[in-house]
Each structure stands twice: as C-alpha cells, then as structure tokens.
Amino acid sequence: MELEQATERAEALRQLINKYNYQYYVLDEPSKTDHEYDLLMRELIDIETEFPELITPNSPTQRVGVSPVSALKEVKHLLPMLSLANAFNEDEMQAFYKRIKEKLSLDSIVFSGETKFDGLAVNILYENGFLITAATRGDGSVGEDVTHNIRTIQQLPLKLIGDNIPQLIEVRGEVVMTHKGFAKLNDRQRQKGEKIFANPRNAAAGSLRQLDSRVTAQRPLSFFTYGIGDYKGDMDLTSHTEILRQLQQWGLPVSSETKRLDGIEACQHFYAEIGAIRSELAHDIDGVVFKVNDIAQQRKLGFVSRAPRWAIAYKFPPLEEITQLLDIEIQVGRTGALTPVARLSPVNVAGVTVTNATLHNIDEIKRKDIKIGDWVYVRRAGDVIPEVVAVIKEKRANVSEFVMPDICPVCGSDVVRQEGEAVFRCIGGLSCSAQNIQAIIHFASRKAMNIDGLGDKLIIQLNESGLISTVADLYSLSTEQLADLDRMGSKSAENLIVALDKSKETTLERFIYALGIREVGEATARTLAKKYKSLELIEEATTDELETISDIGPIVALNIHSFFQQKHNLEIIERLLLVGIHWGHEKDETELRLNGMSFVLTGSLQKMTREEAKQRLLSLGAKVTGSVSKKTNYVIYGENAGSKYEKAVELGVTTLNEESFIKMIEK
C-alpha cells in the first residue's frame, strides 16, 4: 500500500471506528458485530504499524500508553467542581423546594432529575474538540491528572463529533464500574492472589489512579457525563436537559435515567421510580440528583459556601441489613482457588432473600474480624454476590474461629498458599472435579496436546453429559458417543477421534505444559524436558534440585514438586500413558544444531504455519522471539513481512526467505 492510499484509508477507518463507538457506547444501538469492529481495528493497527508516521494522538489505537507515568500531577480546574447539598427524607426535599421557590418568586419549578452514580467525579478538558486533560475532583479546585487512564475508557471520545463544538469546554462526569465488571475483576484478582476490592466505587477509584495505563485498560471502567464547567465559544443552551442532549450529540455518554420534571411531586415520584429499580441497574447509585433546569434561574439562585443552591442530592437508604452468620464453607473455583463463603440466616436485602455472601479470602476475614456465629451487616448490589460489610461486635456471643482447610474439600488434594498471595489453592489440577473443565481446555489447546476440533463448548458439553470428567477420559470416547451429541454428527465425531489418536504422539515438553502445573509455561516446560529428558526424573526431582535450574525460582519449583506429590495427579498421568501417549527422547546439546541462536519470524509462510516453524526451530535448540534486535541471528520472512524485516535490514541482521529457512533446518 502506498503512503497516500494508507493515509486516506487510515483516516476513513478512524472515522468509522469513532462512529461505531458512538453508536455502541452512547446510543446503545450497535450497527456492527464485535467481529466486524475488531477487523476494522486490526486493519488500522496494521496500517499504523507499517506507516508509524500516520499515527495521531487521538487515533482509536492510542488509548493505552506504552509506559507508566512517574506520578499523578496536580491539575487546576478552570471552574471549581462544587459539592452538592444532601436530602435524606421527604421533609428535607420539601424544605429545599420551598427555599428556591421563595428565592425565585415562582409557584412551580422545572427540574432535571438524574441518577447519582457512586463513582469517582472527573473533569475532562476538550480543546477544539480534542481530549487534552482529565483530572479527579480533588479538593474542588485542584485534582490529580489521570489523562493517561481516562483515555483507556472506550465510551469516551478522544475527539468530539458533530457541529458547534466550543473552542474549550470542561466536561464533568463520573467514572464507575458495572456490577458484572466488578465481579469479574475481583475474580481475576482472586485468581492472581492480588488485592480484592471492597466495592465497585473503590475499584473504579483505584483503577483510575494507576500510574500504568496498561493496568487501567484491563479494568472495566465506564463514564457518564452529568454537566459542564467552564467553556469558551458560543453555546446558546438555556436548560440543563439541553446541555445533556448536546453533550450526547457530541459523542459523550449520558445516563438513560434522566428526566425533565415539573414540580416537587414529579421529583418525589421520580425518586420512588428510581428507588424501585435501583438493584436492577448496571451500576451502583446512592441517590437521585435534582437540578433546577433553567440556566438563568440557576444563575439567579447562585451558590452557598461550596455548593450550588439550585441542586440537591436526594440520597437512598443503604442496601444493608442485619443477620447472623451461621457457618463458613469453602467453594473451589475452576483455577483451584478456595473462596470462603458465609452461610447466613435468610434475610431480605433490597427485595431479594440472601442466604450466603462472599468473604473473599482469609485475609479479609481476619481484617473484618469475622467469626462463625457473629451478627453482621450484609450488603447487596445488583448481580454481584452479597458481601459481609462488618461485624456487630456488641452482639457477639458463642462464636468460633474459622480456619482454612489444608485439604481440598472436593478432591482431597493438598491446599497451598504461596508467599505473598492472598489465595489458597488446590493443587490437584488434573483430578479435581471443580477444576476439570479448565484443565481439559488447557490440555487440548494448540500449544499443549493440540487436539484439533476439541473446543471449549464441546468440552463443556462432554463434561455436562457425563462422558468426561478428567483429561484421561478423552481417550476413552467413541465415535458413537460423540455422534449423539448436539451439532456433532458422524463425520465430526470421526474427525475428533482421529485428532485424539494423532495427539498421542507428542513431545515431553508439550506433555509437561499440557498438565497445567501452576506457573509452568512453554519455556519452563521446555527447560524441564531438556534438563531431565524423562518424565520419571521430573516426578522425582526435589525442590532444591529444581531451584538450581536457570529460570526456575523457589515458587515454581514448589509448584512442580507439589504437583507430582499428589497421588490423584499421578493416577491421571498413568492413565494417559496407558492409552498410548508417548514421545521420543530429548536431544542432547550436540544434537541441537541451532542451540543458543535467536530467530524472529515475520510475514506469511506458505509451506508451514508460523507456529510450525517456531516448533521446528525450538526442537533444534533455537530461541524464537517477537522483536528484532542486534542480538537476533536470523529473521525468517514470508509474504507481507512488514516492519520486522525492515528493522533486520537496518541492523544488518541476516534474513532468510522460506525456501532458505527450510534448507537450513533440513540439513
């Protein structure tokens, strides 16, 4: 592609992607499938990779920074971000209404009513339509610079769309996290043994204050605008609802629960409506905000102290109830993580009967000083499993301490907790029924046993139908059993049986990797295979012996040793060997002709896939990396090689086409 053609196509792609983002995130009316959107994004990435001079700061590909910032700097808001006065009951709302009626000398007032998100307030500055800076509320006058993290939120346009965009405008809004996103985030944190967030607000705040935007980009943050600060330019808007409508037209997301309300009775009715659906909303809210809709009336009312007279937050009562914690049980997750769960005396929380609540991990239990038999506050929010908020120690009597088990309650394997982790884990990965689906999916994957045609959905179907419960059961399947499954048929069944039979011939390193030993990836599996050359010697290796191997530290050494100490795991391995899984001998250093040499693969090969080429190189002792440097020995290139080939030529690295590469490896 020529530069001129690439320039036109890149700009067209940016406009299309921004358009589809607006339809998806702001209008909630997607016109493209996720797959179609991903293809457009991939095409733009490819163009910008080939022509880096075409990259613009506001390209959809540039939302995530390449390196962390050193600290969060201070940013002064052009117009202060004020607090809101609160009302906690109908009398206080009536008093607020009476005050502003008297001040304006009116019988009735029109309001804008909108949900009060329980998140983190931010101020975003757009200049000539481009996102320039973003800062937290801070003390109202000065906040923290979180521009690098705000840019990662897909809902937010990096460039405003439409007409009549002011030269300068401060957009105010709230960064929040959905209940489902929060649950998934904590699940990932728990699996990694990292900090568990107490609630979506804390998770959103912690995510937005990260120094590394690559971390923030992995967090499910959302943004909703609720108003503006200072601006320069011609904005002929006379009401708050008009401002919100205009912000939405410029591409900014606005809460769908926003309404124009005439008089105090309409406000009370709206408050009741939102309260009734509060637990069904995707995000946490803690009240409803009412603002005098007319901008001229707002100016006349003015401010008192650090709050506007023309707005109020009518707060909801907390979604918490009191009940007794009857017992603590253990749930084993698909990755082996053990999670303590409180069994509660049934209690109605926000219209739902709650009988259990997550306790996250033993550290949370100790931090909150929770004991079996305690009376506790329980909170529920949307689809997130309820949690124990705090203990009522004044009511404590006849309680007992909870102790994490050292044996898995599902399979009887050992439970371990690595240093620095909050999570306890079952290490009976191959035999634990709580982990079996994940273990089988990993075992069948391309880089493991490479069982073609055995996808995640089929594995789940096989498990749910009772045909498989461990990886060894795969090799007992028959064509008839498979053909009876939904969407299979005889031909697909036959193909899978052939693929299973083919997978029996493998390599030691692939087999080790397929076992799913915690933190043993492809490189570590390869190292073990080269060092020991037999599965029996690996099984017998002590932690001290394993630690002497390069790239294997004490934690990984303990994982490997502990895995092979579990009799259930050894029984599954024995079954796998009995059905015929085998491999050839591992080559000595003298047989590894390319030992220590570094290769990079780029472009499309014709006679083999890139993965096949990589495996051939690895089998000869070579290292295969993803980037070209002066230490690279060879760059193997195919069609559409791109920037890696150009970098090799620039550095003087030897390049080989596919034909020359095949001659090299077949000597």
Over residues 417-425, mean pLDDT: 81
Question: Where is 16: in which H helix or E strand?
Answer: helix 3-21
Handedness of CA 81, 82, 87, 91 (dihedral sign): negative
Span 321-363, pLDDT tens digits: 899 999 999 999 878 889 999 999 999 886 678 899 988 889 8
Name the pLDDT band for 382 (thresholds 50, 70, 90): very low
Euclidean distance between CA atoms 437 and 427, whole angstroms: 15
Joined together, the tokens standing for residue 467 give 């045909």
**Considering only CA atoms, which of 505, 578, 503, 573 is closest in space to residue 539?**
573
Q: Is the pLDDT of residue 457 over 90?
A: no
Q: How confident is the model at residue 34, as a pLDDT? A: 66
Catalytic one among 116, 371, 614, 644? 116
Q: Are 571 and 515 in contact (CB under 8 A)?
A: no
Report the share of the chain in percent with pLDDT over 70: 95
Number of neighbouring beta carbons within 10 Å of residue 410: 19
Q: How confident is the model at residue 294, as a pLDDT? A: 96
Q: How confident is the model at residue 87, as a pLDDT? A: 92
Name the pLDDT band for 551 (thresholds 50, 70, 90): confident
Q: Are 76 and 142 in contact (CB under 8 A)?
A: yes
Supply the pTM of this predicted model: 0.56
Q: How confident is the model at residue 381, as a pLDDT? A: 54
Name the pLDDT band for 65 (thresholds 50, 70, 90): low
DSSP state of 53: G
Span 576-608, pLDDT tens digits: 999 999 998 655 555 567 877 899 998 888 888
Q: How confident is the model at residue 591, as a pLDDT? A: 57
Buried b / exposed e over 433-444, threshold 16 CB at 10 Å, is ebbbbbbbbbbb
Euclidean distance between CA atoms 228 and 216, whole angstroms: 25
The structural domains of the chain, ordered by start, are: 3-62 (1.10.287.610), 85-315 (3.30.470.30), 320-395 (2.40.50.140), 436-583 (1.10.150.20), 589-665 (3.40.50.10190)
**Amino acid of residue 546:** L
Q: How confident is the model at residue 555, as a pLDDT? A: 86
E strands present in 487-641: 505-506, 582-583, 598-602, 623-625, 634-637
Q: How confident is the model at residue 64, as a pLDDT? A: 72
Least confident piece of the model among 46-60, 563-577, 630-644:
46-60
Q: How confident is the model at residue 383, as a pLDDT? A: 44
Q: Is the pLDDT of residue 200 over 70?
A: yes
Least confident piece of the model among 297-301, 383-387, 490-494:
383-387
Q: Is the pLDDT of residue 66 over 60?
A: no
Euclidean distance between CA atoms 537 and 34, whole angstroms: 48
Over residues 229-237, mean pLDDT: 88
With a CB cutoff of 8 Å and minimum separation 6, the contacts of 18 are 60, 157, 159, 161, 251
Q: How confident is the model at residue 253, as a pLDDT? A: 94
Q: How confident is the model at residue 351, as a pLDDT? A: 65
Q: Are 267 and 287 in contact (CB under 8 A)?
A: no
Q: What is the DSSP string of 190-220?
A: HHTT-PPPSSHHHHHHHHHT-S-HHHHTTS-
Q: How confident is the model at residue 295, as a pLDDT? A: 95
Over residues 212-235, mean pLDDT: 91
Q: Is 663 a catalytic residue?
A: no
Over residues 420-444, mean pLDDT: 87
Q: Are 242 and 293 in contact (CB under 8 A)?
A: no
One-letter-per-residue 3-state SS of 20-45: HHHHHHHCCCCCCCHHHHHHHHHHHH
Over residues 55-66, mean pLDDT: 77
Q: How confident is the model at residue 63, as a pLDDT? A: 78
**Amino acid of residue 332:** V
Q: Is the pLDDT of residue 244 over 50?
A: yes
Question: Which range is most confident: 31-40, 64-73, 346-355, 403-412?
Answer: 403-412
Mean pLDDT (the chain) is: 88
Q: Are 375 and 392 in contact (CB under 8 A)?
A: yes
Over residues 216-220, mean pLDDT: 92
Buried b / exposed e over 477-510, threshold 16 CB at 10 Å, is bebebbeeeeebeeebbebbbebbeebeebbbbb
Span 482-498, pLDDT tens digits: 998 887 888 999 999 99
Helices (H), 310-418: 362-367
Q: Are 170 and 231 in contact (CB under 8 A)?
A: yes
Over residues 76-90, mean pLDDT: 91
Joined together, the tokens standing for residue 176 give 């929040």
